[in-house]
């Protein structure tokens, strides 16, 4: 299932499932080294009145949410049979690599009783389960898991007293052994002090509650690279006090998300809430070293034994555009530095990257049909350059533009200038936005045009006029070729792509409709009210709208990605947050009065409704019942929402004058 809530600080990312259990824990990079791993989670269980229940059992009712304007959860799990309620405030501290859970345990029975709370740690350090050690530290009454340069310290506090009440370590996922969580089910742990190899651990807290009384247990995980680091973090918690850390964290995120309060967004409360929560969620998916990660949800592993935990330059550029518009340029600045560091000597960016700047996995071949080919999507290079121009427009940081000139602007500009088909004047074939087809796409050509225009403007700003003139000429050539070859006079609209026949060199036209064709106006090739754009976008809407109660727009005709069981006869594909909001942005761009904006609001409201109670947005939704599909949160979904809402607010103010 998609993640129900996320919390992080750019080094440590914790992802909660819809049973309020920790299911992904990334450290020391956001998106790299998930120390819980696919199809595992840290269990929580309760023993009371000689009965035991894990939160994964069916009798629990779960709710997941955030405290307003924060990355602190406000969640609950209630068991009517046991008459026990657990309230959670989970957070990663903003300035320490510390994950903390404040668990309020409420006895809903009308008699006194002892509740035993069990927390199981199912670590897979470095993403697997071998060569690990789990041991109990009697001085601190804490549990430590470690392997090589990864240490995780588990401890807690009740009534001002730190330490666990009982513990055990043991083998798990080895020789048929399930793990120490099975040991907890009789309400008693065997206190094995150390285990190595394929291990897990469980700790216990004994809570004595009067009738209808509630008490708080704090449980924390300190993440570090050696024992001293996590021990010092534990001492920091004891010195500061867990409740104080919670309040500090709440105040930090409220300040962070309201730092641009002068924008005075005139939105209804529901939109404003989702706007702010989207900004916060976006921040959790960004590594402090610049990588904007597409999504961190290990459940996608079941699809292709791979994840979305990579930095796609395209996704990152779209996110940076939204962040710059929202006033968070310090984050996008690090993204551009990341891109400059990873740019190849030839001036292009590869398919995707890990957050440590190493090259990510890819399905783009270097050789196909007996020929060499570039394993890239040129739009990924182009749109980063375009996004950098937009960053300049917001912040006018000329020293940063100078820093980016050689490794990014000039490198990308030179590549785009040369990567052009001599006959057509179009960009040479690469893979499309959705990474499925190869050819020459309207989306890619529009991005290359915008990227070259950006390189021209940025070069001019710092006085590199020879280069700027060349980039300007190349941009004009791309636009001319795009209008000549990717527009079909007979159809009266643009084409999705053309392909060059390797033998005849003739162009084969693809008349399919794709939401990515919105780039033709978004990238400034033509104005949004140009008749050619209007006819194209109306055709996109006609073909890609999901015409049932779910609604939304698919990304392309006959899209089979992440299809679920059902009759897709009249459904083009699963509706996406991004593509639906692109349509909203176009309708907004051509709106002439406040009445026109009512339709725009309809699509923004649709996107808002696809978020879960905590505000987490997926990539796409089930076209039959509206359930989230693929990964959640998808950073790009949230960024498109932020971007759309800001444009919506601006347009309303313009039309209302």
- Segment 340-385, tens digit of pLDDT: 999 999 999 999 999 999 999 999 999 988 888 989 999 999 999 9
How large is the average pLDDT for residues 427-437?
A: 95
Q: pLDDT tens across 623-647, in order?
A: 999 999 999 999 999 999 999 999 9
Other CB atoms within a 10 A radius of the CB of residue 514 amount to 28
Whole-number pLDDT of residue 1: 62
Name which of 452, 453, 451, 444 is nearest 426 in CA terms.
444
In the chain, what are the domain boundaries?
Answer: 43-256, 269-309+545-657, 329-526
pLDDT given at position 369? 85
Q: List the single range of 146-150, 170-174, 602-606 with lowest mean pLDDT.
A: 170-174
Give residue 656's pLDDT.
87
- The pair of three-digit structure tokens given for residue 469, joined into one six-digit string: 């003139």
Handedness of CA 421, 423, 425, 429 (dihedral sign): negative
Averaged pLDDT score across all residues of the chain:
96
The pLDDT value recorded for residue 37 is: 85
Task: Determine the pLDDT at residue 527.
Answer: 98
Q: Return the number of other C-beta atoms located less than 10 Å from residue 97's C-beta.
A: 22
pLDDT at residue number 504: 81
pLDDT tens-digit readout, 189-230:
999 999 999 999 999 999 999 999 999 999 999 999 999 999
Q: What's the rounded Cα separation, in Å, for the pair 446 and 442?
A: 6
**Per-residue confidence at 176, pLDDT binned at 50, 70, 90?**
confident
Report the pLDDT averaged over residues 608-615: 97
Distance separating alpha carbons of residues 121 and 132, to the nearest angstrom: 13
Residue 431 has pLDDT above 80, yes or no: yes
- Sign of CA pseudo-dihedral 479, 484, 486, 491: positive
Q: Is the pLDDT reported for residue 303 higher than 90?
A: no
User: Which tokens is 399 given?
Assistant: 């020293």
pLDDT at 263: 80
pLDDT score of 657? 60
Tell me yes or no: is domain 43-256 CATH 2.70.98.10: yes
H or E element at residue 390: helix 378-395
Q: Which residues contact 365 (CB under 8 A, 6 or more apart)?
A: 373, 375
Of the candidates 285, 359, 352, the residue with the CA atom closest to the CA atom of residue 322: 285
288, pLDDT greater than 70: yes
Q: What is the pLDDT of residue 239?
A: 97
The strand pair at 214-224 and 60-63 is best described as unpaired
Q: In terms of DSSP bridges, do strands 497-500 and 507-510 run parallel, antiparallel, or are they unpaired?
A: antiparallel
Mean local confidence (pLDDT), 39-59: 96
CA distance 225 to 151: 6
How large is the average pLDDT for residues 79-104?
98
Q: State in words which class domain 329-526 has.
A: mainly alpha
What CA–CA distances, in Å, run from 241 to 155, 166, 221? 13, 22, 15
């Amino acid at each position: 299932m998609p993640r129900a809530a996320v919390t992080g600080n750019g080094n440590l990312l914790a992802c909660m499932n819809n049973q309020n259990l920790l299911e992904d824990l990334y450290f020391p990079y956001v998106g790299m080294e998930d120390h819980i791993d696919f199809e595992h989670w840290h269990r929580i269980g309760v023993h009371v009145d000689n009965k035991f229940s894990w939160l994964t059992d069916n009798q629990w009712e779960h709710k997941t949410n955030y405290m307003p304007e924060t990355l602190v959860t406000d969640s609950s799990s209630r068991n009517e049979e046991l008459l026990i309620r657990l309230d959670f405030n989970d957070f990663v501290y903003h300035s320490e690599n510390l994950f903390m859970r404040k668990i309020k345990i409420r006895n809903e029975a009308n008699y006194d009783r002892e509740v035993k709370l069990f927390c199981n740690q199912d670590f897979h350090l470095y993403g697997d389960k071998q060569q690990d050690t789990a041991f109990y530290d009697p001085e601190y009454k804490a549990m430590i898991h470690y392997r090589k340069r990864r240490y995780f310290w588990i401890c807690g506090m009740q009534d001002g007293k730190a330490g666990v009440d009982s513990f055990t370590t043991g083998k798990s996922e080895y020789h048929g052994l399930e793990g120490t969580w099975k040991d907890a089910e009789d309400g008693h742990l065997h206190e094995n002090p150390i285990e190595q190899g394929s291990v897990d651990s469980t700790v216990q807290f004994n809570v004595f509650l009067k009738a209808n009384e509630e008490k708080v247990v704090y449980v924390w995980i300190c993440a570090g690279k050696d024992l001293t680091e996590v021990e010092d973090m534990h001492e920091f918690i004891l010195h500061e006090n867990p409740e104080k850390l919670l309040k500090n964290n709440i105040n930090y995120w409220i300040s962070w998300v309201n730092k641009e309060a002068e924008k005075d967004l005139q939105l209804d409360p529901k939109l404003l809430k989702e706007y702010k929560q989207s900004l916060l969620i976006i921040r959790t998916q960004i590594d402090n070293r610049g990588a904007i990660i597409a999504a961190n949800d290990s459940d996608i592993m079941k699809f292709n034994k791979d994840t979305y935990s990579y930095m796609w330059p395209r996704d990152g550029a779209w996110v940076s555009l939204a962040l710059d518009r929202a006033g968070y340029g310090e984050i996008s600045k690090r993204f551009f530095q990341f891109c400059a560091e990873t740019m190849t000597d030839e001036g292009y960016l590869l398919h995707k990257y890990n957050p440590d700047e190493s090259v990510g996995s890819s399905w783009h071949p270097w050789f196909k049909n007996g020929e060499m080919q570039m394993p890239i999507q040129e739009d990924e290079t182009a749109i980063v350059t375009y996004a950098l121009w937009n960053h300049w427009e917001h912040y006018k940081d000329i020293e940063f533009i100078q820093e980016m000139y050689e490794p990014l602007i000039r490198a990308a500009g030179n590549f785009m200038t040369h990567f052009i088909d001599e006959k057509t004047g179009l960009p040479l074939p690469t893979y499309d936005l959705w990474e499925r087809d190869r050819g020459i796409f309207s989306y890619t050509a529009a991005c290359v045009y915008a990227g070259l225009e950006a390189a021209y403007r940025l070069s001019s700003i710092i006085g590199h006029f020879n280069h700027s003139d060349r980039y300007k000429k190349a941009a004009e050539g791309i636009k001319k070729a795009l209008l000549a070859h990717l527009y079909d006079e007979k159809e009266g609209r643009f084409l999705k792509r053309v392909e060059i026949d390797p033998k005849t060199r003739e162009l084969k036209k693809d008349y399919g409709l794709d939401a990515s064709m919105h780039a033709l106006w978004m990238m400034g090739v033509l104005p949004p009210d140009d008749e050619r754009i209007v006819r194209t976008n109306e055709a996109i809407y006609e073909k890609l709208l999901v015409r049932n109660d779910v609604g939304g727009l698919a990304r392309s005709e006959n899209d089979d990605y992440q299809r679920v069981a059902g009759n897709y006869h009249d459904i083009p594909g699963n509706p996406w947050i991004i593509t639906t909001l692109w349509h909203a942005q176009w309708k907004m761009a051509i709106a002439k009065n406040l009445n026109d904006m009512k339709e725009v609001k309809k699509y923004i409201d649709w996107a808002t409704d696809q978020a879960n109670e905590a505000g987490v947005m997926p990539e796409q939704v089930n076209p039959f019942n509206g359930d989230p599909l693929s990964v959640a949160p998808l950073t790009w979904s949230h960024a498109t929402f932020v971007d759309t809402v800001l444009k919506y607010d601006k347009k309303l103010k313009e039309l209302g004058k």
